[in-house]
Structure 1
Amino acid sequence: MRFARVVLGLLLALAGLLITIAGAVAAFWLVGPDDTVDTGEHRLTGKGLAVMTAPDLLDRHGPTLHVTATSAKPVFVGIGQDLDVASYLASSQYSRVVRLSLPPKFETQEMTGGLRPLTPPAGLDWWTVKASGAGKQSISWPIADGAYDVVAMNADGTPGTEVGLTLGVQLAGLFGTCLLIFGAGLVLLVVGLMLLFFRRRRPPVPLPAVAVVKPLPEFVTASASSGPSSPSNHAPSNHAPAYQSPTYKGPARRVAGTAVLLLVATGCVAVPVKNTSASTSRPAVTVADGQAVVARYNELNNQANQARDPKRSEAIEGNPTLAMTRAGYQISRITDPAGKNLIKPFTYVKPKIGAPQFSSYPMRFVVDSGVSNDPNSRQLGVWQRQNAGTPWVLTHSVYPASTMPLPPLEGLRIPAQADMDKLSTLPQAAAANLAVYLTGGARSPKSALFTPSPGMVNLLNQRVKERTADVAQSYIANATDTFHPAGDPVTFITSAGEGLVFLTVTEQYLQLIEPGSNAYWTSGEVTAFSRMVKYTQTLHRDYLHQIALVIPLKGHGRIRVLSMDGQLVGAGGS
């Protein structure tokens, strides 16, 4: 029995010693009271524009991730969805961290690409969390389920990255778990030592009991006895039990079992959950970020309007809106060289954001705003970001009357084929039919497909008056007005299943000159494109129109034109 006790004590002491050392190292060196274990700082150097972790490196969620970046230059560190980070770095050279091995070591892969400076990352709104500046920059983020990347780079977006990177994971209760492991190891160690060195003193062996036999009384007869007399018949029946060696089998099992359960329970609590989300899409923008985009537009657009500078507009507008702005500035500079009739400052107020889900770039969102200097109209616009490194720009912009009912923007989504199949007509067909309607006027057979906006009706009536007046001129033989679709319609599906469509059409107003005559412009907006140039065959004015319309579901009525807004963009002749 002593041999078994020594072997058991030795095993428990050895196991306890190892567990105690492991718990102490984990609690007081690797983890600490902040429940965080980190990789220590690793210097990563590359010619590229960034250091980025592969999306499968953060394959668990739940704990808090701490990232610290240091550099001699101002440094940026951020965490973003792989959808955005991959687009941002798509054509650039950068270093990709593909594995983190133990002892802590970053294994990297160099991704080929260009070295053109990127848009400074701090100004982009899609980062989940970010920090930028000189010296050490740190961020913390509760790791979410999905594909996310950590990025460290120069704050100005230039190549030549040299950064010290530290990754740490904070697991709730990790320090306490390590202390419990440390304590469990101590218990096992103490029990093992007790089994090895503690000897229990034997109790003294009791003397055998002496039976005292009294003589039978003389009056007892032999018939009272049940059998022949025997010494065993008179011995006491409660002999003292023999001595047994003490055993520690039961208590040892209980201690070992408790320690194992404790380790298993605390260990399971500390293990992060494996990622399960397969989603690779996100809303184009948050409501707050969408409103910030509109606020930035308000500021820069007023500056561009005052300077009549299309270069400033390029930072906030894209075609077709940018083309219309450029033409408007050109007309203004020619017709008002002194700058007395500049556009008064205005803003888009109380913007409502409709942000569909996107899984790739370009991304778009829709805004319905009031107009500060025109209470009778609203602005309905589409903002687009071509890739993750470009700014949001206003591409489509119309001004429906404030009395015009607009579709709700909540639940706006990009169309699937099933959505398109339910519409009364496809957006491309709607654009073509609308161009036919505009060219033919109110008598066009395609007019029955549409409910026009007030602005569209006014335009058609104005063109009829202009043609009548032009033909009355002696030098004008005839006048025609022709519309054509331009570009692809931009389509969204509303929560009711209808199609909210933004499209562009071009218009050419053509005047045929009588033989032997000539004509030219001497005043007006057309002189911004052609002034005092004599033409003998034709004159033409070119317009660009933006239109927003709603295509209903099949069997639910006509296509509703919400607004039609145009701009003269050219003039000439032959």
Structure 2
Amino acid sequence: MTRARLRTALAVALIVLGTPLLLAGAATAVYVGPDDTVEYARADVGGEGSVAATAVGLATVTGPVLHVSARMADDSDVFVGVGHRIHVDSYLDGVGQQAVTAADLRGEVTTSAEDGSPAPAAPPGDLDWWESSASGSGWRGVSFELTDEPVRVVVMSPSASGEPLDAELSLGIEVDGIFVTGVLVGVGGLLLIGAGVLLIWLRRRRRKRERALRAVPDKDEDEAPKPPPDEPGEPGEPGEQPEPAKEKVATVTPLPKRPLPERTPPPPAPAPPPKPSARIAVVLGLTGLVTACAQVPGEVDEGARDALIPAITSDRAEGFFEQYNEVVGAAATGAGDAPLADVEGGTLLATSQFAAEERQATGAAPEGLPSAVTPSVVLSPQVDEYPMWAVVTGQSSAGGAPSWFLLTREDAASPWLASLAVHPAEGTSVTAPLTADGAAVVADDDATRRGDEVLEALRAYGETGEEPEGIDLTFADGLTNLPAHGLQLGTAPPEFGTATRSCAVENAGQTHWLQTEYGAVALASISCTQSVTVNPGYSVVIEAAGLGTIPGGSQISQAEISQNATFILSVDTDGSATVIGQRMQPIGMTWSLP
């Protein structure tokens, strides 16, 4: 194949290659638009359930941004939120729902119905674990980057009324730089077409010039000499015979040498094509330029989807204590509408409620407004399910040693609650728990076993008063008063009646131990109840000052008085322990008159 034909074939190849690139790039740029986003699926979701939720496996790539929008068929308010799988699974546990399991690029959306209760236990807007959410009438949606984090999108009514869902769902994908990539591909295709046309035009121009050169005659070429015309002879004498012609001898004279004609030099040969290595470098360079403009989706790491999450973050802990300080402060002055149960639970709520009952019964003013607490250290373990817990230390506005709080959350529909709180005396110190990558380290089985054994010894101490060995009670405070709490009946005769005392570890077997350098530490609580039954003919007279909610001067024949001691317990690897507590607090009193 001649060089000319190679150029023509190259030109045709460039045009054939550039045309689809131009069309594809232009179509992509026009279809996607400057926002790099395109809707790829839309479907109606509804049924008997009041909730629609996407499955974790809906997204199979990482990198792009997924846009999920929804609107109600009757244009009423709709809630759309995205959250981690652990939270959403707990929130929708046992709730009837439409699960969106797949949505491909052809626009086909696959759903499956799951039976259950009509609605979740709490409206979605009251929860703090949504990564992004939106609510209102018309189209509402969320956008989030697809990563290895397993997230689910929830569509439901903001009121969680339980009415069957009838909504339209839209799914869109945003790939960063795809619009610019489409433009570059289109421009690249246009350049290839232009290069092919240019090669064809140059070839035709060269052929015209060659034909013109062949049509020009040679001006220096000599013509052969022509013989002179014959001259007429003179008439001869009559009767004379013509003489015979003489023999002619030709003389050959060599012609002079003439110079060769000047010709137009041929055009220079085209540059040789680049070496294969150069072409490869150019192609790779262009490919890198294009791919650098558009985000290339990655594969999902299935192992990362089982990763643990922190039970509570520092931001959420700060938000909780802002609410806690407000509610507790308002409850102390009687000016708040929010109940203590919104921020407290367990033993802490029981002691707070009894303190309020005691003030109401006696008419006594509170000892003082509670000091606001600012969280300083959040000791949150990594978890993979509910219930969740965390230990938070905070500095009181009144000063003194840092307070310790145990925060618990039963499920995703429940709020965080302060279940235990210890406000150590000034000058005391506690061995700090260990952390790893910002998360608190949960104690191992051996440390937990030793800690539970010490707790059992302290429970027995509350009943019998026999101080256990190897346990430092110097700063135990209220724990040391449990053996003697309640009615003092030491001088009563044997026939007076019966008095028993029983103690129990609150939430036994569920104490949350954290690893320390020397062992483990935990917040714990022991409650003891004194039960008194007076025989006929006898009674117990309460002192004039009263006892808790029992009015002074009352003559009682039966009573149950419960007191609580909450403390911080540090247990070393050798079994020794240290208790740092606060004053004993009553949690319940019942009595009857003769």
Partner of 2:113: 110
Query: What SS class does the counterpart of residue 314 from structure 1 fall into?
Result: helix
Partner of 2:408: 384
- Is 1:89 equivalent to 2:85 in the alignment? no
Task: Judge conservation of contact 2:464–2:483 (CA < 8 Å) in 1.
Answer: no
Partner of 2:34: 33
Tell me: CA distance 1:498–1:168, structure 2 relative to 1, closer, same or farther (3 Å): farther
Tell me: CA distance 1:105–1:365, structure 2 relative to 1, closer, same or farther (3 Å): same
Deviation at 1:261, TM superposition (A): 5.5
Tell me: CA distance 1:263–1:554, structure 2 relative to 1, closer, same or farther (3 Å): same
What do the CA deviations read for 1:266-325 (whole angstroms, capped 9, x no partner)?
247521222333452111111121011111122223344455999922222222223333
Taking the aligned partners of 2:198 and 2:306, their CA distance within structure 1 comes to 57
Task: Judge conservation of contact 1:330–1:528 (CA < 8 Å) in 2.
Answer: no
Partner of 1:284: 311
Deviation at 1:5, TM superposition (A): 6.1
- Please list every run of 5 or more consecutive structure 2 residues that lacks an aligned counterpart in the other structure: 223-256
Partner of 1:431: 455
Task: Judge conservation of contact 1:502–1:548 (CA < 8 Å) in 2.
Answer: yes
Residues 316-355 of structure 1 correspond to what in structure 2 (within 5 A)? 316-336=343-363, 341-342=365-366, 344-352=368-376, 353-355=378-380
Partner of 1:356: 381
Task: Judge conservation of contact 2:463–2:483 (CA < 8 Å) in 1.
Answer: no
Aligned residue type for 1:13? I
Residues 20-419 of structure 1 correspond to what in structure 2 (within 5 A)? 20-29=22-31, 31-39=32-40, 42-71=43-72, 72-159=75-162, 160-194=164-198, 199-200=204-205, 201=207, 203=210, 204-205=213-214, 250=273, 258=282, 262-263=286-287, 266-267=290-291, 270-276=295-301, 277-307=304-334, 312-336=339-363, 341-342=365-366, 344-352=368-376, 353-372=378-397, 375=399, 379-408=403-432, 411=435, 413=440, 415=442, 419=444
Which of 446, 457, 470 does residue 448 from structure 1 map onto? 470
Deviation at 1:13, TM superposition (A): 2.7
Taking the aligned partners of 1:566 and 1:308, their CA distance within structure 2 comes to 24
What do the CA deviations read for 1:380-416 (whole angstroms, capped 9, x no partner)?
2211111111111121122221322134367263535
Taking the aligned partners of 1:477 and 1:447, their CA distance within structure 2 comes to 33
Query: What SS class does the counterpart of residue 395 from structure 1 fall into?
Result: strand
What do the CA deviations read for 1:21-49 (whole angstroms, capped 9, x no partner)?
111010122x2223333336554344433
Deviates more, 1:280-289 or 1:124-133: 124-133
Deviation at 1:139, TM superposition (A): 3.8
Tell me: CA distance 1:90–1:303, structure 2 relative to 1, closer, same or farther (3 Å): same
Partner of 1:553: 573
Tell me: CA distance 1:114–1:3, structure 2 relative to 1, closer, same or farther (3 Å): farther
TM-score, structure 1 as length reference:
0.79
- Is 1:470 equivalent to 2:496 in the alignment? no
Task: Judge conservation of contact 1:83–1:281 (CA < 8 Å) in 2.
Answer: no
Task: Judge conservation of contact 1:543–1:568 (CA < 8 Å) in 2.
Answer: yes
Query: What SS class does the counterpart of residue 471 from structure 1 fall into?
Result: coil
Tell me: CA distance 1:487–1:380, structure 2 relative to 1, closer, same or farther (3 Å): same
Taking the aligned partners of 1:42 and 1:487, their CA distance within structure 2 comes to 48
- Is 1:14 equivalent to 2:38 in the alignment? no
Tell me: CA distance 1:153–1:550, structure 2 relative to 1, closer, same or farther (3 Å): same
Query: What SS class does the counterpart of residue 491 from structure 1 fall into?
Result: coil
Partner of 1:504: 525
Task: Judge conservation of contact 2:563–2:587 (CA < 8 Å) in 1.
Answer: yes
Tell me: CA distance 1:478–1:101, structure 2 relative to 1, closer, same or farther (3 Å): closer
Taking the aligned partners of 2:217 and 2:102, their CA distance within structure 1 comes to 76
Tell me: CA distance 1:177–1:529, structure 2 relative to 1, closer, same or farther (3 Å): farther
Tell me: CA distance 1:454–1:135, structure 2 relative to 1, closer, same or farther (3 Å): same
CA RMSD of aligned residues (A): 4.3
Tell me: CA distance 1:354–1:60, structure 2 relative to 1, closer, same or farther (3 Å): same
Deviates more, 1:514-523 or 1:559-568: 514-523
Deviation at 1:326, TM superposition (A): 3.4
Task: Judge conservation of contact 1:398–1:565 (CA < 8 Å) in 2.
Answer: no
Query: What SS class does the counterpart of residue 429 from structure 2 fall into?
Result: coil
Taking the aligned partners of 1:564 and 1:447, their CA distance within structure 2 comes to 22
State the identity as a percent. 23
Deviation at 1:86, TM superposition (A): 1.5
Taking the aligned partners of 1:256 and 1:246, their CA distance within structure 2 comes to 24
Aligned residue type for 1:567? P
Tell me: CA distance 1:75–1:570, structure 2 relative to 1, closer, same or farther (3 Å): same
Deviation at 1:509, TM superposition (A): 2.6
Taking the aligned partners of 2:70 and 2:282, their CA distance within structure 1 comes to 43
Task: Judge conservation of contact 1:83–1:360 (CA < 8 Å) in 2.
Answer: yes
- Please list every run of 5 or more consecutive structure 1 residues that lacks an aligned counterpart in the other structure: 213-233
Deviation at 1:454, TM superposition (A): 4.5
Query: What SS class does the counterpart of residue 360 from structure 1 fall into?
Result: coil
What do the CA deviations read for 1:129-163 (whole angstroms, capped 9, x no partner)?
22333444344434443212233332223343344
Task: Judge conservation of contact 1:74–1:132 (CA < 8 Å) in 2.
Answer: yes
Alignment length (residue pairs):
537
Query: What SS class does the counterpart of residue 90 from structure 2 fall into?
Result: helix
Deviation at 1:177, TM superposition (A): 1.3
Tell me: CA distance 1:51–1:505, structure 2 relative to 1, closer, same or farther (3 Å): same
Task: Judge conservation of contact 1:366–1:409 (CA < 8 Å) in 2.
Answer: no
Partner of 1:569: 588
Deviates more, 1:17-26 or 1:85-94: 85-94
What do the CA deviations read for 1:406-434 (whole angstroms, capped 9, x no partner)?
34367263535xx23256x5232122100
Aligned residue type for 1:360? E
Deviates more, 1:147-156 or 1:469-478: 469-478
Partner of 2:446: 421
